[in-house]
Amino acid sequence: MEAPTNDQLVVNAQALTKSFGTVKVVQNVNFELTRGQILGLIGPSGSGKTTTVRMLVGIYEPTVGHIRVLGSRPAKFTPRIRERIGYMPQQFALYPELTVWENMNFAASIYGMTVRREKRLDELLDFVDLGPHKKKLARNLSGGMKRRLSLAATLVHNPELLFLDEPTAGIDPILRRRFWDHFKMLQQQGCTLFVTTQYVGEAAYCDNVGVMANGQLLMVESPDGLRRRAFGGEVVDMVTKERLLFKDLQQLSKLSFVQEPVTRLNDEGTGLRLVVNRASTAMPALLEWCKSEYITMVSIEEYLPPFDDVFVELVKNAATDS
């Protein structure tokens, strides 16, 4: 893989550690984010995601380590750099007693936008489907609408780098999907996004995914890479007509492209799940093996395990390693 140039490198975090008193909340975190990418940070509640974001935007000073965001240390952000950054905090940080429009106006003003901003605000409210609700008081909005308003307020000054801290927390799956559609659109418009989430399934939308647990970044991988890391390769499910005997399983295990263990999928003994180096080459080889052993293959396909399972495996592996 080619190393990103300085121009492409938007965020560079090296050996980041943050302690509150004697408690280390984030430990030795390293990652890079290149221009135009979506980097997802996935981890359970309390794993250190929000602390990491806060260090990236300059709210917290790291106890140890270095950060460069848009080529600058967050503690030394100039107003120019701040204008290029959008930050959506985890909680709704706008004002319940103001209308949707007034909240947008406030956000636009603190970024010093000119008074001719109506068009931009209208566009953004339409973008998050809040156009018809602009006169509503924020306190009367639903949870999902508040999140959308927060997102719109974050985008008001047209930032090139977005830090979104659990933007989909507490909202229904349909709306979560729409949020990711919005993020993808922003990516297409040239934005770089750093998104944290508790929903492991959202990893699929990211270009790269960082997995956090107990304050440590276990890995940063592409979504497919994560699966491979979780199970030691790709997973193939096969169903045969005849029951496979113990000796058949032993033979399968001995095949060079098959990883142990081979697990049964049903009580009849006709279904098997195998972890292989690469599914695309392993499946024809398995068909050949069945033919040579006079076993009738009913079906064979690559299995994509849900990211929840991937995440559980990764955390389990990390615990075993440590």
Partner 1 sequence: MQPLIAKRFRFFIRISAFLLKEMLEIMRQPLLLLTLVAGPFLILLFFGIGYRNDARALRTIFVLDDNDSAVAKKLDEYAKTLGPQLIFAGKTTDLTEAQDRLRQGEVDLVAQLPNNIYNTILNNQQAVFHLFHNEVDPFQVDYINVFARVYINEVNRRVLRLLTSEGQIDLSQAQDTIDAAKESADSLSKLLQRCAETLAEAGRGAECDSNTAMEYTQDLSQKTDELSQIIEQDLRFEEALQREFGDGESTPDAAEDEITLRQIRDRLQSLERFADDIDQYEAQLETLTKLDTDLDGLEARMQDFLNIDPNILVSPFRSEVSSIATVQYKVNDFFAPAVIVLLLQHLILTFAALSMVRERQLGSMELFFVAPLSALETLIGKYISYLIFGAVLAAVLLSLIVFGMGVPMLGSWLSVSLVVLAVLFASLGIGFIISLISQTDTQAVQYAMIVLLTSVFFSGFLLGLNTLWQPVRIISWTLPATYGILLLRDIMLRGTALDLSIFMPLVAFGAGLFILAWWLLRRSMQKI
DSSP 152-209: HHHHTT--SEEEEESTTTTS-HHHHHHHHHHHHHHHHTT-EEEEEES-GGGGGG-SEE
Determine the interface stretch with partner 1 among 97-105, 261-269, 271-279, 297-305 (rule: CB under 8 A): 97-105
Among 2, 3, 23, 97, binds partner 1 (CB under 8 A): 97
Instruction: Tell me the window of 101-109, 208-216, 221-229, 287-295 that interacts with partner 1 (CB under 8 A).
Output: 101-109
Helical spans, DSSP H, in 34-117: 49-57, 79-83, 100-110
What is the bridge-based pairing of β-strands 271-276 and 85-88?
unpaired
Contacting residue, 39, 85, 262, 275, with partner 1 by CB under 8 A: 85
Nearer to partner 1, 93 or 287 (CB): 93
Question: 54: which 2 tokens?
Answer: 């806060």
Q: What 3-state class would DSSP assign to 256?
A: coil
- The percent helix, strand, coil of the chain (3-state, each to 5) is 40, 30, 30
Which of 25, 41, 57, 262 is the binder for partner 1 (CB under 8 A)?
57
Site string for partner 1, 109-138 (x = CB under 8 A): xxxxxxx---------------------x-
Say whether residue 31 binds partner 1 (CB under 8 A).
no
Q: Taking the complex as a whole, how short is the minimal distance between the CB of residue 105 and partner 1, in angstroms?
A: 7
B/e letters for 269-304, b = 16+ CB within 10 Å, e = fewer, are: bbbbbbbbeebeebbeebeebbeeeebeeeebeebe
In three-state secondary structure terms, 138 is helix
| Total site size for partner 1, rule CB under 8 A | 34
Interface region with partner 1, contact rule CB under 8 A, candidates 37-45, 96-104, 122-130, 206-214:
96-104
| Contact of 206 with 40, CB cutoff 8 Å | yes
8 A C-beta contact, residue 317 and residue 230: yes
Task: Supply 319's token pair.
Answer: 């615990």
Q: By C-beta, is 215 or 233 nearer to partner 1?
A: 215
CB 109 to partner 1: min, Å: 3
Nearest to 162 by CA among 187, 129, 198, 127: 187
139 to 178: interface string for partner 1, x by CB under 8 A? ----------------------------------------
Per CB under 8 A, which region of 4-12, 78-86, 120-128, 168-176 contacts partner 1? 78-86
CA angle 288, 289, 294 (to 5 degrees): 100
Stretch that binds partner 1, among 76-84, 193-201, 217-225, 309-317 (CB under 8 A): 76-84
- From the list 15, 44, 46, 59, which residue makes contact with partner 1 (rule: CB under 8 A)? 59
Cβ(233)–Cβ(79) under 8 Å?
no
Residues of this chain that bind partner 1 (CB under 8 A): 54, 57-61, 75, 79-80, 82-83, 85, 87, 89-95, 97-98, 102, 105-107, 109-115, 137
